[in-house]
Structure 1
Amino acid sequence: MSKERRSLTQGQRYNLIGWWFLLPAAALIFVMNFYPMFKAFLLSLQTGRGRNLKYAEPLWSNYQRLLEDEIFLKTMKNTFIYLIIQVPIMLILALLLAVLLNNPNLKFKGLWRTAIFLPCAVSLVSYSLVFRTLFATDGFFNDALLGMGIISTPINWLGQTHTAQFAIILGLLWRWTGFNMIFFLAGLQNIDRYTLEAAKLDGANAWQTFWYVTVPQLKPMILLTAIMSTNGTLQLFDESWNLTKGGPAYSTMTMSHYLFDVSFLKSPNFGYAAAISYVILILVAVLAFIQMKVGDKRD
């Protein structure tokens, strides 16, 4: 009996030591993350300008206002346009590039992988400014199209709704496809070669081997990249701010860009901005939950 008590006491001591090691990190996470989130929620229930804030009546009036805010609804629509168009194209391109670069017979694989991944190393502001120059009325794209005789007058790419959205989507594809490709490449290199050889012995062609053998083994990586890309797109800010400033007429502005405007430009309204941030958080959480339920079929 005494040995069991001594052993239990020793186990509790080890457990206590472990919690002491975790305590500083847990305290930092609480102070830097959870406490600000709680304060932001309280702030979202308040109204007023600058520091002159008071609790709204009713408390949910900021959230009710969001449903009637045409600009916010427009920014939400813009964000989902980027999400629906850009994310699937980017993931498909990343997967195809990963398959090509995983070919053992490909020469200069290191060079190709570096070249495709390199845009991820460019700062968000820098690449946005480069794309803004490329899509200017006297930029590369107009010069190239004029030179080939495809257009007769320069196109105002960033001054029209659909072309400005196209420029942002193209910039996102250029910036983030290589990032997702690295994840797929890592997943492909961990696939058991014997399963691929068995599929070939059974008479499967290249497409059947890819679709029925490779893709199922990549599902965890596909799910991870889909969740990360969705979350990143819902919080998109840099491209909207640096490429188009949200114009023309809010047609390219994202929710995070509108959040910044409400918080720091014009007449700051921190309570309303906090409500916008919580709506973005809820959208991120809901879509991530749906993707987990749809994509993760493990028992």
Structure 2
Amino acid sequence: MEQTEKVVNANTSFRVKTRRGLLTPKNVPYFFIGPAFLLIMIFTVYPVISSFILSFQEVRGVEKSFVGLANYTRLFQDPIFYKSLLNTFQILIVQVPIMLLLSLLIAVGLHSSMLKGKAFFRISYFMPAITALVAASIVFMILLDENFGLVNYFLSLFGVNSIPWLTTPFWAKVSVILVMTWRWAGYNMVIFLAGLQNIPSDLYEAASIDGASKVKQFFMITIPQLKPVFIFTVVMSTIGTLQLFDEPFILTGGGPNNATMTITVYLYQAGFKFFDFGYASAIAYVLVIITAIISWIQMKLVGDE
């Protein structure tokens, strides 16, 4: 009995001390989120603020000097920046619609009740999204080689002349678009497939009773019901394309003749090839502003409350 009273008194004393100290019931959640918050501040917030300040500075070795808006003024007078911006938008305008249309068609096909082995096909189409991009790009470099590539070999069987996939401006852009579509079509297919599975089957049954064909059902039921999915995939694909780096950097290095030089490839070259970190930071923040504006316009055009 005495031992029980001692335990109760000890617990009561601990609760009193706890409430008077830092570890109060109100503060307990902050102890759990504290480490994550600290990591975010160190590895996200601090670099963002630091790079913003750096965009107003000139870096020479270890010395930094404030130059005001000189980096931004130089940026808007730089023909290579405008070239990289044009290349990025050309790829965006062509690749995103093709990829999303292909993703939608694949998702509709895999959603069909007539298809057997759905799990196998879903995994197969999604695999490129989890494949190491460097390895995949190297494989595509071998496949698209002008002289010894497997793609040109198969085309030659049909009498098509060898195509300089990676050495001419037009075909280099086509190559980047092909690799991007191969990689991300399956990823967006999964998102569309999730949207299709959430459409009530009653809608299709009612449409069938009213005599609507499969094509009419697709345009009158499937497409409107997938509007939120379209908004999400369009915005995310646009942001991803504006940040396009890996494919052009590995496949062509931004060439030939800057034909595949995207904004992020140019940013990388300015920062880590020429060590002009102030100018690279200015490019990064202009890219952030462009991405935010385009995303806002897209949400206003196709989004709703």
TM-score by length of 1: 0.89
Q: Which amino acid aligns with 1:227?
A: V
Q: Indicate whether 1:25 and 2:33 are aligned.
A: no
> What is the DSSP-based 3-state SS (H/G/I as helix, E as strand, rest coil) of the residue aligned with 1:149?
coil
Match of 1:96 among 98, 101, 105: 105
Structure 1 pair 187/257, CA: closer, same or farther in 2 (3 Å)?
same
Distance 1:60 1:198, change over 3 A: same
| Residue number among 272, 277, 281 corresponding to 1:264 in the alignment | 272
Q: Which amino acid aligns with 2:165?
A: W
Number of corresponding residues: 282
Deviates more, 1:67-76 or 1:193-202: 193-202
| 1:226 matches 2:237 | no
Change (3 A) 1:199 1:17: farther
The residue aligned with 1:133 is 142
Correspondence 1:240-259 to 2 at 5 A:
240-259=248-267
2:74 paired residue among 61, 65, 71: 65
Distance 2:61 2:174 in 1: 36
The 5-angstrom pairing of residues 73-222 of structure 1 reads: 73-137=82-146, 138-151=148-161, 154-222=162-230
Q: In 2, distance between residues paired with 1:181 and 1:50?
A: 47
Going from structure 1 to structure 2, the CA distance change for 1:296 and 1:15 (only over 3 Å counts) comes to farther
CA distance in 1, matches of 2:211, 2:27: 58
Tell me the TM-score normalised to structure 2 length. Answer: 0.88
Give the percent of matched residue pairs that are identical in Structure 1 and Structure 2. 44
Whole-Å separation in 1 of the counterparts to 2:140 and 2:47? 35
206-215 or 156-165: which moved more? Answer: 206-215
Equivalent pair of 1:50/1:270 in contact (CA under 8 Å):
no
Larger radius of gyration: 2
Is structure 2 residue 295 aligned with structure 1 residue 284?
A: no
What is the Cα-based RMSD across aligned positions, in Å?
A: 1.7
- 1:43 aligned residue: 54
- Aligned-partner residue type, residue 247 of structure 2: E
Asked if the contact 1:49–1:270 (Cα under 8 Å) also holds between the matched residues in 2, the reply is no
- Structure 2 Cα separation of the partners of residues 297 and 80 of structure 1: 25
Measured after TM superposition, the shift of residue 217 of structure 1 is 1.6
Query: For residues 70 and 145 of structure 1, do their structure 2 counterparts lie closer, same or farther at Cα, with a shift above 3 Å needed?
Result: same
> Which residue is equivalent to 1:7?
none
State the shift of 1:20 in Å. 4.5
Report if the CA contact (8 A) 1:50-1:269 is conserved: no
CA distance in 2, matches of 1:108, 1:209: 25
SS in 1 for 2:244: coil
Which letter does structure 2 place at the counterpart of 1:172? M
Instruction: Provide the C-alpha distance between the structure 2 equivalents of 1:297 and 1:121, rounded to a whole number of angstroms.
Output: 32
Greater Cα offset, 137-146 or 84-93: 137-146
Q: Which runs of 5+ in 1 are unaligned?
A: 1-12
